[in-house]
Structures are given as C-alpha cells and as structure tokens.
Amino acid sequence: MSTPDLGGVVVATALPYRVDATAPAGLAVDYDAYAAHCRWLIDNGCRGVGPNGSLGEYSSLTDDERRRVARTAIETVGEDGIVVVGVHGPGSHQARHWAELAAEDGAHGLLCLPPTMYRANHGEVLAHFEAVASVGLPVMVYNNPIDTKVDLTPALLAEIAAIDNVVAVKEFSGDVRRVLEIREQAPGLDVISGADDVVLESLLMGATGWFAGFPNVFPAESVRLFDLARAGKLEEARALYEPLVAAFRWDSRTEFVQAIKLGMDLVGRYGGPCRPPRGPLTDEHREQVTADMRRALASLGVG
C-alpha cells in the first residue's frame, strides 16, 4: 500500500556481497544478509529502507539482481515500514520500467535521479519525471548535481512539484539555504535531507526526512538525532551530532560507499567489498575513516 509521505529516517541501504567466482566481478549479492540488514534497520527505529540507490551500487547490478534486491527489501520490511526503491536510469524509458516493476512488487515509493548519463535540459528533466510519476507511486526526485551535472534548483522544483505523484525531493546539493528556498517556491513538496553532514542544519530549517547513509552503521542513534532535531531540542541534538560530523562527511565524498561499508565492519555488522568500478579504500583513506568512525562511536558508546 502506497503512502504520499516519504519522510522520516529512510536508509539508503548498502548491499552485501559474498565471494563467488561465477558472479559478476567475482562477487554475488548475499540476499539473506541483505534481508537481515533491512530487518535490523527497521527494528532499530528507522522508518524505511531505500534499495537500489548509489549506496546500494545499483549501477553495478544485473537487471535480475536489481529487481531481486528491491523485492528482498519489500518482503523483509512488510507492513513494518516503507520501501522507497531507486529507479534511476539513463533515460525515462528505463526509469519508468524500473518504476513499473517496483509498483508491481509492492514498493511504497520511488527515488529517481534525472537522466544519469546525459546532461538533460529543462524540458527533458520534466519529461523524465513525468514518465516515472505516471506509474502512480509517490515519487521523491533526487537532486545530486555533483554526479548528474543537472541541478534541480528551487525554481525548477516548483515546476516538477506540479507533476502528479511527485511528493518530495532528496536534496543533496549541500547548500542548506535550499531548504527554505524550496519550501517557498514549492510549498507542497517535502524536503528530505540527502547529505548526512548537513542533516541537522536541514532538519532545523524544515526538512521532514533524512534519506540517510550512515544510519547503516548506527541506526538507533541516527533516529534519536532525527527526533531531537524535529522536536527543536537543539542543545541535545548538537551534542549528539557534532562528534559524528567527521564521519558523516564521507557520505558526500567519492568513496562514500566504501567508507560506510567500513563503518559497518567496525561496529560488527557486515559491510564488505564493493563491485567495480568501486575499489578498496587507500591505506590513507582507510586510516582516516577508521579514526573518524572511532570518534563517532566513542561519543555514542557503540562498538
């Protein structure tokens, strides 16, 4: 059953692999481990999960794997939360195809980038989201100008928000001024914080959700941060947030998938390797992620 509200803490789930020489790049998706991870996130208070995002390495999956990942999340979460499936694609026909499959499989909502391998113009962006939204599920459009080279500005979002079934934007520009600008120009559109290292600032300015990376590592504590921010308990929220920000900054870096998976390993979960094109962290990066994570975990009493 779909819902127009895609807010709260929805975790962009990392995807576990197991070594298998017959699988792409020698790594097979571990669906059982993925299901267990989704259940752990929901049991620790997260509102939902987001399979097949960038953090879920969707672009490295076969078509069969990509659909099975989404189905695994949907079946695991059941009635206990929401599943917002990433339907990113190079063109609107691919994105709509993934949206149709997500609807068929029981997703609650969709997360969609502009065309992923083409710097689309204004009209093409609108047509892309119109095609995806026509499937009928609530759509969260995703502004990631760093990777797509397309900026969903507040003015453009005002037009996108007029499309039926578009209900939210995952805002990943890193510019917290955007939260109020979007609320002014597209007042019916929910603003969802997409970058972990500006989540408190975004929530205090009126964001209603967090489509999150590092809650893969410490979900219960992240939900507490979200609840404190939404309740306006600034002093408590800052005390919780400030020791985490160094780790959270990795969510906005090229190596964010590897960093978050390493964080999962450090707390006794399973992060594991990534498929190409993502390779292992350099020694320097591994040392820095570990140091940043240890500071965060020490402040939380986790690990």
Q: What residues are labeled active site?
A: 142, 170
Residue type, 189: L
Concatenating the DSSP letter of every residue in 94-141 gives HHHHHHHHHHHHT-SEEEE-S-TTS---HHHHHHHHHHHHTT-S-EEE
Measured CA to CA, the distance from residue 30 to residue 32 in angstroms comes to 6
Please report which helix (H) or strand (E) contains residue 167, including its range: strand 166-171
Whether the CB-CB separation of 283 and 228 falls below 8 Å is answered with no
Whether the CB-CB separation of 1 and 219 falls below 8 Å is answered with no
Q: Which stretches does DSSP call E strand in 184-299? A: 190-193, 209-212
Measured CA to CA, the distance from residue 191 to residue 198 in angstroms comes to 13
Measured CA to CA, the distance from residue 176 to residue 153 in angstroms comes to 13
Residue type, 29: V
Whether the CB-CB separation of 109 and 137 falls below 8 Å is answered with yes
Proportion of the chain in helix, strand, coil states, percent, rounded to 5: 50, 15, 35
